[in-house]
A and B are shown apart, each in its own frame.
Chain A
Amino acid sequence: MPGKLKAKIVAGRHLPVMDRASDLTDAFVEVKFGNTTFKTDVYPKSLNPQWNSEWFKFEVDDEDLQDEPLQITVLDHDTYSANDAIGKVYIDIDPLLSSEAATVISGWFPIYDTIHGIRGEINVLVKVDLFNDLNRFRQSSCGVKFFCTTSIPRCYRAALVHGFVEELVVNEDPEYQWIDRIRTPRASNEARQRLISLMSGELQRKIGLKVLEMGGNAVVGYLQCFDLEGESGLVVRAIGTACTLDKLIPGTASNTITHTNTAPASNACNSPSKEIKEPVFSEDPTHPLSVPPTPLRTLPSSSSSPPPFSPSKPCSRQSSSSDTDLSLTPKMGMGSGISVGKEAGPLKTLLRQQAQSALEQREFPFFTLTCFPPGFLVHIGGVVSARSVKLLDRIHNPDEPETRDAWWEEIRQEIKSHAKALGCHAVVGYSESTTICEEVCILSASGTAAMLNPRFMREGCLDAGGSDQRLSRQPPLGMVGSERAEGEVSSSWLGFDDASPPSCGFCHIPYDEFNMPFPAQLTYCYHCRRQKVPDVLFTTIDLPAEAAVTGKGCLIQARLCRTKKKAQGEVNATAISNLLPFMEYELHTQLMNKLKLRCMNALFGLRIQISVGENMLLGLASATGVYLSALPAPGGIQIAGKTPSDLSYDQHISTMQKRINDTIVMNKEFYNIHPPECIEEVVGSPIPDRQRSRLFRSTSESSDELSELDLSHGKKDAFVLEIDDTDAVEDIQSLLTDAPMPAGFYSCNTEVMPGIYNWTSGLQMFTSVRVYRLNNANLTNQGLNKIFTDLCENLLKSLYFKLRSMIPCCLCHLNFTVAVPEEELIQVAVTAVAMSFDKETQLAADKALNKGSGENEEQLQFSMELCGESTSSNNQPTAKPSGLPESAMTHSSSRDRCSTWLELLRLKAHTIRRGSVKTSRRTQSLANSVSSSERCSPLPEVRSRSLRSTRSLPCGAPVTVVKMTPLSFLPRTRIVKYLGIINMFFIRETTSLREEGGVSGFLHSFIAEVFAMVRAHVAALGGNAVVSYSMKECVFMENPNKNQAQCLINVSGDAVIFVRESDQEAIPPLITSGQTSTTGADGTT
């Protein structure tokens, strides 16, 4: 009997009137866990019942504790007829199972009904008494901590990063079971909610088991997704990075952490490979300083020692059966032997010889993390991605989800081989996604190929990163915000002090210069001048804290719409497969053009989403562009007209060229990009492009098309756009029609905006959803593209307008999700956070930027003019139907494997510059310290009549203010405790759509309800914020004719307690009490 769950129902309030006659309610509560149910007494005739029940006790296995939610149902007692349900509350008790998370759940929960929404609130108290479980063969994984955050959580240090964990569970979707025909929508929705809750619990438990098996105690970057496959079932899958985390003792200065580095106790008891690790941990705690300064220079070229990643992972599973099966059987001691063997393997040799061993080796060196401590990333290769089109069939046996496992396995293998082709041994910022339309399903995976410092996989070195990153992002008041200084401190802790400058190391190429996987222009690094760097860098991770950036960054989006014939089954899948490579290519071209137009040379946080509909495919790529000081300045964009041409056409070309050039100049000004001028010198590879790519072709067949996509031109000085082909005209259009951001706004899709450091505590998280109906069925690709672009632009404009009271501010983590819910419907959902920053200090920091935004007006008019011009360019005769070389067209022939580019850059021509680059960022960081003032409210100042009344607020205890953010931190605060993961799934349905304000009214209140439930759960755990919040699923279906609509939303995040940085000293280091309703509650979020 490993656990005792106790629940107490205290009271209810604001209950709905259930008895029309008396305008009152006779409420009682059912508390259910597993198969046990308790009931409270009926509290007659009240809308604010006080049950004050006894403690209901459930004695359960900890396996059930992990899987099952506590289910609380509020009912209205009816003497004569059946009791009416008022609503339910599902409480995930997982946070109570970890000793370091919450100790009690206590608070007001909204009572939720899938048909009526929130109907009153209920006050509940939940506790768990856990007994020690000594069973080695247990199925539970209590105590393994889960974090959605994709960096090492703020108050932990990573003793060890074990690596990739994944799992999936499948089941039949209750909505598609035969019984659904006879039960009510409410019953069906509740069955679904409950099933998904159960499946999430089970999934988490299984992943936890894998983590324990690997010797870890936590999962970081936990990403859980649902695939609603309709008839064929319901898949819940998750990936994450297994780590061994040690809790930092609050109050300890971060520079002492390295020295308190000892073997984590939790690790010792679980880990089968304890003995192996022991010597490592028992080394002199100061050893990082004595270690030779990293293999930064030697690693890529020499074939000497660096051992591979993740020594403790049981990596050679010979069994070909599904992972699920394996995870159920504990494999004790298996990892240790292998890890010894792998330690000895020289990396390069290993990489070279992996072609053979890859088949047997089922381990994936993937990391879902996107933020790393300085020095962790040695080099970045580039983005790797793989997509696969599959036809769904019914899952016959839910206990053996082999097909789905095999599908993902395939994709991961491909990613792995791509990474290898880039000379990298790991993939960071890894994520997986699906899009489903009828029976066609596209599985996608992407990440950034990278070389990691293997020491991080062996020793506890990540702590410095954990705290450093936070520090460098939001320089605290005490620490004058010189990032340089901090960077140096941290690197010296890690023993990197005489390694190559960490600020540019990650830019250096990991692949062999003479055997490059794709054509690229190489130059010597503009920072250290010792290593080669590519001309452009695309990544899926966040900007490393140590990276030197010139100017500010900005959100760059590529949007694409492609029509497709309606088809069924195999034919449909083939059609989609054939379209995908073209779409990816075009998205890349767009990204590249836009990047150049903004005079930037690197993309971070790249996320490409492809969504399938019945008659179209949508592609949306978002990333944050920056100018990395270590990389060469991007060349301009040159338009090449068709030849021969008449005079007016030439004129047209030249005006367009001039406008592009002007825009580039203007953007430079706006984003404050002023790299120092330097001598031009081409330091390309000695082998000509063509030849190089051919060389590569023999080594990896998966990137054939790349080498053939070489659009080389004779000129090497600029990126050339040929406008005689239709696509290029489109490209130019989309380039120039992007509306400039209004003054005072910045946007990015990464955690933070490069170039802005002085955040205030004012922030506003929001979700915006739009659905558009395309009225005209006979739309061309171009027409569709235009509409889709307008749609995204308008949405952004609306967001800027909405949030104008927060100026100056930056929209961070601006993540768009597109979907094609029905034929001719396009749905766009955005979740982001607007964070205001201090204008004064920013002004002081970069006057130049301000100058740029002053010219905004001019810029606006300019682009308006452009629109007209680009319209006329529409009518230009076009010569070629497509910009793609034939080889790419012929390529994607296989049905289910759509092509997989190495997402790399095919930039043909460039101005290559070399010279010393001193970054301008330092000055900005210095200015951070100037101001410590906080803008407290992000809300509109009351402009007209202001009521400075001192009246006391509405009665009762004030509701805890819970901040929400998709970022992993809150500016100007310190997270003192992680309370557990929030992972909630809700369904809402209505049969009175018009009465609820139409589709907008319905969805508006549903999203507000979801927010409210998340906040309530966090507050009940004793928290005051959710970090790394994301809305992973928002499936909206409507049937206006029947006055019906249904929506499913899945959200997740980490519940935390934070304290304001300024209060930090005043507050005791450990907050143990459950309720901290006032801490940091500043009424802003």
Chain B
Amino acid sequence: MQIRYAVFTPILCRTQRFNCAINNTRLQMLFTQTVPGAIYLLATVSPRLDRYITLVKAYKMSMELDVFVGNTTIMDMEVYQLWLDGLTVSDAVKVRMDEGALLECEANPEVLTSDTMDQFRTFQMCERLLHSPTKLGSQLLYQIPAQNQIILIERYYEFDSVFAREVLGKKLSKGTKKDLDDISCKTGITLKSCRRQFDNFKRVFKVVEELKGPLVENIQRHFLLSDTLARDYAAIVFFANSRFETGKRKLQYLSFQDFAFCAGQLISYWTIGAMDSMMEDMDVDLEKEFLNELKDLKVLVNDKDMMDQHKILVCAALRGKIKVYKLMEVNFKFIEPCRYDRWTVAEITLFLTHYTNAAHCLGTFRHQMIWDRYMGVIKSCILQMYHE
């Protein structure tokens, strides 16, 4: 690695004083990587001076090898985040300088570059272990304190919800991986980071897909993630498995969190595991039986009588409480008209409650159990999805 300084100031011509000037005048650093392996640090004195002097001090030596190995692996979690974000070493150095790393311990750009490279290399070497987090605890190569192991894993598996939203419902296949360029462009997340996140999704999916037992627990057991993160992954796995069409234009406004919530609801109530936890079950798939039973519910929509009756009941219950009410379709298409009419959340809640309860009053309606199970989830999903 060859580091060259181009110091643009009349006063600064020696590297030692470079440091000093940084402490006093806050140099701004520009990095360009023109030749592979050679970083040129272009320093401009604070914009106020706005003067560029060209004095390129080329060092007469170059660092061929530079390693630092601690008995306890030293990991700077801020640098870890930069690495996870897919930054290059020089970009990371730049970010660290912007954050004032040079003010610590009288560092200079060279020290910072060396440290960043070293840290990046450490993370890269650990990455293999992070792919199967359970190994991290039993491996002997790196002595990493327990609390750091947890953070390493958690951060590695954290993802950008913007990215997750894009991938949601898509098949976690090679084809999708090729589209990552587009996603990267669209979301502004570096391709490297996209790849990591995508591979994480795929890895978790592959491991958990065929496993029996509660989905969230499975993920936690195999990937040692926190509860919230494991739930998010459960949602991703769920969507990847059932491939809901989350990409529809009408659903564009929904965030990953909305979907994750819905997935959570679906997993909790509509899958096989939800009804009978004692059974050797799978959380990934929706319960077939239940889906079949749902068909029976269509009687509410299909049977004209029943629908009218239901409608009347709902309207009666709501009269006076909601200013405007209209006829509408049930199911997912429910939200749009509501948004159109600017219902408040409270109104929706009220409507849905009555909508659910009204069905119970229908004498001819026989699927009360299923209806409750259906509407419980629908209700909470709709409420979640109902926002701008």
Q: Which residues of B contact A1084 (CB under 8 A)?
A: 72, 145
- Determine if A1012 and B124 form an interchain contact, defined as CB atoms under 8 angstroms apart: no
Q: Give per-residue flags for B208-239: 1 if the beta carbon is below 8 A from chain A beta carbons, else 0.
A: 00000000000010001010000000000000
Q: Once bound together, how far apart are the Cα atoms of A737 and B137, in whole Å?
A: 45
Q: Is B264 an interface residue (CB 8 A)?
A: no
Q: Once bound together, how far apart are the Cα atoms of A1003 and B121, in whole Å?
A: 11
Q: Once bound together, how far apart are the Cα atoms of A236 and B112, in whole Å?
A: 40
Q: Which residues of A contact B265 (CB under 8 A)?
A: none
Q: Which residues of A contact B155 (CB under 8 A)?
A: 945
Q: Is B57 an interface residue (CB 8 A)?
A: no
- Determine if B60 and A787 form an interchain contact, defined as CB atoms under 8 angstroms apart: yes
- Determine if A864 and B70 form an interchain contact, defined as CB atoms under 8 angstroms apart: no
**Which residues of chain B (138-163) have a CB below 8 Å from chain A?**
138-143, 145-151, 154-155
**Which residues of chain A (418-474) have a CB below 8 Å from chain B?**
none
- Count of chain A residues with Cβ under 8 Å from any Cβ of B? 87
Instruction: Name which residue of chain A comes closest to B58, CB basis.
Output: A775
With contacts A864-B16, A954-B136, A1008-B125 taken as known, whether A770 is within 8 angstroms of B63 at the C-beta atoms is yes
Instruction: Name which residue of chain B comes closest to A744, CB basis.
Output: B105
Q: Which residues of A contact B125 (CB under 8 A)?
A: 997, 1001, 1004-1005, 1008
One of B76-84, B170-178, B275-283, B373-381 contacting the partner: B76-84
Q: Is B110 an interface residue (CB 8 A)?
A: yes
With contacts A939-B148, A999-B65 taken as known, whether A794 is within 8 angstroms of B140 at the C-beta atoms is no
One of A246-254, A483-491, A543-551, A959-967 contacting the partner: A959-967
One of B17-25, B299-307, B328-336 contacting the partner: B17-25
Q: Is A1015 an interface residue (CB 8 A)?
A: yes
Q: How far is the CB of B107 from chain A (nearest CB, A)?
A: 5
Q: Is B61 an interface residue (CB 8 A)?
A: yes
Q: Is B69 an interface residue (CB 8 A)?
A: yes
- Determine if A1012 and B140 form an interchain contact, defined as CB atoms under 8 angstroms apart: yes
Q: Give per-residue flags for B64-76: 1 if the beta carbon is below 8 A from chain A beta carbons, else 0.
A: 1111111111111
| Pick from B23, B71, B75: contact of A1085, CB under 8 Å | B71
Q: Is A694 an interface residue (CB 8 A)?
A: no
Q: Once bound together, how far apart are the Cα atoms of A791 and B139, in whole Å?
A: 35
**Which residues of chain B (89-144) have a CB below 8 Å from chain A?**
104-108, 110-112, 114-115, 117-118, 121-122, 124-125, 133-143
Q: Is A1071 an interface residue (CB 8 A)?
A: no
Q: How far is the CB of A490 from chain B (nearest CB, A)?
A: 33
**Which residues of chain A (760-776) have a CB below 8 Å from chain B?**
764-776
User: Looking at chain B's contact residues, is the secondary structure mostly helix, strand, loop, or mixed?
Assistant: helix
- Determine if A773 and B72 form an interchain contact, defined as CB atoms under 8 angstroms apart: no
| Pick from A797, A940, A944: contact of B108, CB under 8 Å | A797
**Which residues of chain A (4-56) have a CB below 8 Å from chain B?**
13-14
Q: Which residues of A contact B66 (CB under 8 A)?
A: 769-771, 1000
With contacts A951-B224, A1005-B125 taken as known, whether A798 is within 8 angstroms of B61 at the C-beta atoms is no
With contacts A771-B63, A864-B16 taken as known, whether A802 is within 8 angstroms of B74 at the C-beta atoms is yes
Q: Give per-residue flags for A790-814: 1 if the beta carbon is below 8 A from chain B beta carbons, else 0.
A: 0100100111111110000000000
Q: Is B62 an interface residue (CB 8 A)?
A: yes
Q: Which residues of B contact A1083 (CB under 8 A)?
A: 145-147
Q: Which residues of B contact A826 (CB under 8 A)?
A: 61
Q: How far is the CB of A1072 from chain B (nearest CB, A)?
A: 25
- Determine if A804 and B67 form an interchain contact, defined as CB atoms under 8 angstroms apart: no
Q: Is A356 an interface residue (CB 8 A)?
A: no
| Pick from A771, A798, A864, A937: contact of B64, CB under 8 Å | A771
Instruction: Name which residue of chain A comes closest to B113, CB basis.
Output: A798
Q: How far is the CB of B116 from chain A (nearest CB, A)?
A: 11
| Pick from B60, B81, B136, B226: contact of A951, CB under 8 Å | B226
**Which residues of chain A (908-967) have a CB below 8 Å from chain B?**
937-940, 942-947, 949, 951, 953-959, 961-964
Q: How far is the CB of B19 from chain A (nearest CB, A)?
A: 7
- Determine if A797 and B107 form an interchain contact, defined as CB atoms under 8 angstroms apart: yes
Q: Is B339 an interface residue (CB 8 A)?
A: no
- Determine if A769 and B65 form an interchain contact, defined as CB atoms under 8 angstroms apart: yes
Q: Which residues of B contact A997 (CB under 8 A)?
A: 121, 124-125
- Determine if A954 and B137 form an interchain contact, defined as CB atoms under 8 angstroms apart: yes
Q: Give per-residue flags for A844-860: 1 if the beta carbon is below 8 A from chain B beta carbons, else 0.
A: 00000000000001001
| Pick from A765, A773, A867, A943: contact of B77, CB under 8 Å | A943
With contacts A773-B61, A940-B75 taken as known, whether A764 is within 8 angstroms of B68 at the C-beta atoms is no
Q: Once bound together, how far apart are the Cα atoms of A794 and B3, in whole Å?
A: 13
Q: Is B14 an interface residue (CB 8 A)?
A: yes
With contacts A13-B138, A797-B111, A949-B150 taken as known, whether A775 is within 8 angstroms of B72 at the C-beta atoms is no
Instruction: Name which residue of chain A comes closest to B228, CB basis.
Output: A949
- Determine if A954 and B68 form an interchain contact, defined as CB atoms under 8 angstroms apart: no
- Determine if B71 and A1011 form an interchain contact, defined as CB atoms under 8 angstroms apart: yes
Q: Is A534 an interface residue (CB 8 A)?
A: no
Q: Give per-residue flags for A502-515: 1 if the beta carbon is below 8 A from chain B beta carbons, else 0.
A: 00000000000000
Q: Once bound together, how far apart are the Cα atoms of A800 and B19, in whole Å?
A: 15
- Determine if A779 and B72 form an interchain contact, defined as CB atoms under 8 angstroms apart: no
Q: Which residues of B contact A769 (CB under 8 A)?
A: 65-67
Q: Once bound together, how far apart are the Cα atoms of A871 and B13, in whole Å?
A: 11
Q: Which residues of A contact B77 (CB under 8 A)?
A: 940, 942-944
Q: How far is the CB of A199 from chain B (nearest CB, A)?
A: 27
**Which residues of chain A (158-204) have a CB below 8 Å from chain B?**
none
| Pick from A776, A867, A1003: contact of B14, CB under 8 Å | A867
Q: Is A1016 an interface residue (CB 8 A)?
A: yes
Instruction: Name which residue of chain B comes closest to A827, CB basis.
Output: B65
Q: How far is the CB of A866 from chain B (nearest CB, A)?
A: 9
With contacts A802-B74, A861-B20, A964-B71 taken as known, whether A954 is within 8 angstroms of B134 at the C-beta atoms is yes
Q: Which residues of A contact B75 (CB under 8 A)?
A: 939-940
Q: Which residues of A contact B73 (CB under 8 A)?
A: 1008
Instruction: Name which residue of chain A comes closest to B110, CB basis.
Output: A794
- Determine if A14 and B69 form an interchain contact, defined as CB atoms under 8 angstroms apart: no
Q: How far is the CB of B96 from chain A (nearest CB, A)?
A: 11
- Determine if A767 and B69 form an interchain contact, defined as CB atoms under 8 angstroms apart: yes
Q: Which residues of A contact B20 (CB under 8 A)?
A: 860-861, 864
Q: Once bound together, how far apart are the Cα atoms of A774 and B115, in whole Å?
A: 22
With contacts A770-B63, A794-B110 taken as known, whether A939 is within 8 angstroms of B74 at the C-beta atoms is yes
Q: Is A1009 an interface residue (CB 8 A)?
A: yes
Q: Is A90 an interface residue (CB 8 A)?
A: no
Q: How far is the CB of B254 from chain A (nearest CB, A)?
A: 26
Q: How far is the CB of B244 from chain A (nearest CB, A)?
A: 30
Q: Is A479 an interface residue (CB 8 A)?
A: no
- Determine if B60 and A776 form an interchain contact, defined as CB atoms under 8 angstroms apart: yes
Q: How far is the CB of B27 from chain A (nearest CB, A)?
A: 14
Q: Once bound together, how far apart are the Cα atoms of A794 and B68, in whole Å?
A: 13
Instruction: Name which residue of chain B comes closest to A957, CB basis.
Output: B138
- Of B16, B23, B118, most buried by chain A (CB within 10 Å of CB) is B16
Q: Is A110 an interface residue (CB 8 A)?
A: yes
With contacts A864-B19, A943-B78 taken as known, whether A1003 is within 8 angstroms of B151 at the C-beta atoms is no
Q: Once bound together, how far apart are the Cα atoms of A320 and B133, in whole Å?
A: 63
- Determine if B143 and A962 form an interchain contact, defined as CB atoms under 8 angstroms apart: yes
Besides A801-B115, A861-B23, A940-B76, 16 other A-B contacts (C-beta < 8 A): A765-B70, A766-B74, A791-B61, A794-B111, A799-B68, A940-B75, A951-B226, A953-B146, A954-B149, A955-B138, A956-B137, A962-B71, A997-B125, A999-B64, A1003-B65, A1004-B67
Residues of B within 8 A of A (CB): 14, 16-17, 19-20, 23-24, 60-78, 81, 104-108, 110-112, 114-115, 117-118, 121-122, 124-125, 133-143, 145-151, 154-155, 220, 224, 226
A-B contact pairs, 12 of them (CB 8 A): A764-B70, A771-B66, A783-B60, A801-B104, A801-B107, A937-B145, A937-B147, A939-B75, A940-B75, A999-B64, A1000-B117, A1003-B65
Residues of A within 8 A of B (CB): 13-14, 108, 110, 118, 121, 737, 739, 742, 745, 764-776, 779, 783, 787, 791, 794, 797-804, 825-827, 857, 860-861, 864, 867-868, 871, 937-940, 942-947, 949, 951, 953-959, 961-964, 997, 999-1001, 1003-1005, 1007-1009, 1011-1012, 1015-1016, 1036, 1083-1085
| Smallest CB-CB A-B distances: 4 pairs | A954-B137, A864-B20, A771-B65, A1007-B69
